[in-house]
Amino acid sequence: MQHANSVIKSYVAIRKVFFLRLFRGWGIVFLPFLSFSQNHTADINKNVQDIMPKVIEWRRHFHQNPELSNREYKTGAFVADYLKSLGLEVRYPIAKTGVVAILKGGKPGPVIALRADMDALPVTELPNVPFYSKVIDTFNNQTTGVMHACGHDSHTAILMGAATVLTKMRSEVQGTVVFLFQPSEEGAPNGEEGGARLMIKDGALANPKPEAVFGLHIRSNMEVGTLRYKQGPFMAAADFFTINVTGKGSHGALPWNGIDPITTSSLIIQGLQTIVSRQEDITRSPVIITIGSIKGGIRNNIVPETCVMMGTVRTLDESIRKDVMARMQQTITNIAASAGATATLTITRSGTMVFNDSSLVTATLPALQAAAGKSNVQFVNWSTIGEDFADYQSEAPTFFFYLGGMPKGTDPAKAPDHHTSAFYIDESGFDAGVKAFCQIVMNYSGVKK
């Protein structure tokens, strides 16, 4: 029996050497499924387990003390101070309130980046957890509650946890890891720069320059312990627009003496929806046009002179994106003219769609499977949600994936949605996120050339 086991082990070793030489002969640069180390996995799992109480503590601290975009002063300082305590090279502030930390591994290798966002939203939180936010601030000249209603507090805590584990395993890290703690993912205040673009502009990826950037986003309707991904188009380009409709004021009892911009606006809203339902081939890729704000008038018996609408367009194909914008301009102008009014359209091209590099996804999947278990790593279709992580694509190949944050057994259709006051995340699945980042670093083999 011992002789048989020895023969089997010898065969496995010879077979592995054979395939390694064969693949090298074919010129394949990376073989992540052959480079995995069970020792790394065991060490990662142990170290992640040790740090998880702190990860949860950090997340709750950020959740109770949320800050709006470009105003993450305390959050950035908290993160920077902790990363300095790990002995990392820290650059702070960058992009107003952001943090960049650099870990130089004990072995030579490539430079890769891991990213988390830090900003909260102008949402008043329901008191459904003991550590709910009571913060009040001003947004667009309006008083509002502030809440981490999209999980950025989770992302920040998870990346801090990964930085802790990887620092502890520094001697085994091959190459350099750049930790990006980014402000203003939700969009900078009017008249300001912010987010991923400003991080890049301020040199976050310049020295050292990563050859790949990775990020994750927690999802409230995805079960804890799961990771989901897609190659190619993953999340939509998110463009924002403003429509100014000008009519003629009159007494509300004598509307024929005026041109009602509110009624005209309602016709424009309906017309915009026909672009989606009747003019674009949505079998190619999804299209969304949403009006999120409409303001006109001040009194019930006065027809105002103007009405202003704000909204967003979501697309996952550049040619469709351009066509939608052209059709919006035509629709808005013509409908306004038919009512005797005028209307102007202003579009802010916020960012491109998140596009996951296919080679990078293929190379990284074994790391995700080692982190969460093969059965818990699943393909998911594209999303019409936008993410400014897409801007990093201009600097290096990127891979962005989802992390489950929904309690097990919950109906996804009943899970509180992102950007709402009831938004809820189950913290028990954070370890899969920390492990995923650590596995990516410890088993990264390079971008295929």
How many structural domains is the chain composed of?
Answer: 2
Looking at the structure, tell me whether residues 332 and 379 fall in a common domain. Answer: no
Residue 88 has pLDDT above 90, yes or no: yes
**8 Å CB contact between 264 and 254:** no
Looking at the structure, tell me whether residues 40 and 97 fall in a common domain. Answer: yes
> Residue 351: pLDDT band by 50, 70, 90 thresholds?
confident
Residue 150 lies in a domain: yes
Residue 7 lies in a domain: no
| Final residue before a domain boundary, out of 308, 340, 372 | 340
> Residue 3: pLDDT band by 50, 70, 90 thresholds?
very low
Looking at the structure, tell me whether residues 267 and 227 fall in a common domain. Answer: no
| Final residue before a domain boundary, out of 290, 310, 340 | 340
Looking at the structure, tell me whether residues 35 and 100 fall in a common domain. Answer: yes
Residue 105 lies in a domain: yes
Q: Which amino acid is at 433?
A: G
Residue written as token pair 């950025």: 152
Looking at the structure, tell me whether residues 219 and 291 fall in a common domain. Answer: no
The burial of 188, by beta-carbon neighbours within 10 Å (0-12 exposed, 13-18 middle, 19 or more buried), is given as: buried
Looking at the structure, tell me whether residues 399 and 437 fall in a common domain. Answer: yes
In whole angstroms, what separates CA 428 from the centre of its chain? Answer: 20
Region at 277 (left for phi over 0; alpha for psi -120 to 50; beta for the rest) = alpha
Give the predicted TM-score (pTM) of the model: 0.87
CATH number of the domain bearing residue 305: 3.30.70.360
Task: State pLDDT tens for residues 260-289.
Answer: 999 999 999 999 999 999 999 999 999 999
Rounded CA-CA distance 247/346 in Å is 18
Task: State pLDDT tens for residues 220-236.
Answer: 999 999 999 999 999 99
Strand partners, 182: 117
Residue 60 lies in a domain: yes
Residue 407 has pLDDT above 50, yes or no: yes
Angle at 352 between CA 347 and CA 355, to 5 degrees: 160
Identify the pLDDT of residue 26: 40
Eight-class DSSP state of 278: I
What's the whole-number mean pLDDT along residues 353-380? 97
Of the chain, the percentage scoring pLDDT greater than 90 comes to 88
Looking at the structure, tell me whether residues 56 and 144 fall in a common domain. Answer: yes
Looking at the structure, tell me whether residues 225 and 278 fall in a common domain. Answer: no
Looking at the structure, tell me whether residues 372 and 399 fall in a common domain. Answer: yes
* Structural domain boundaries, residue 283: 248-340
**8 Å CB contact between 361 and 370:** no
**8 Å CB contact between 436 and 392:** no
Identify the pLDDT of residue 348: 86
Query: If you average pLDDT over every residue of the chain, what do you get?
Result: 92
Looking at the structure, tell me whether residues 73 and 161 fall in a common domain. Answer: yes
Looking at the structure, tell me whether residues 72 and 127 fall in a common domain. Answer: yes
Residue written as token pair 């989901």: 228
Residue 241 lies in a domain: no
Of 335, 381, 135, 436, residue with least CA distance to 235: 381
Task: State pLDDT tens for residues 143-179.
Answer: 999 999 999 999 999 999 999 999 999 999 999 999 9
Question: What residues contact residue 266 under an 8 Å CB cut-off, 6+ apart?
Answer: none
Residue 419 lies in a domain: yes
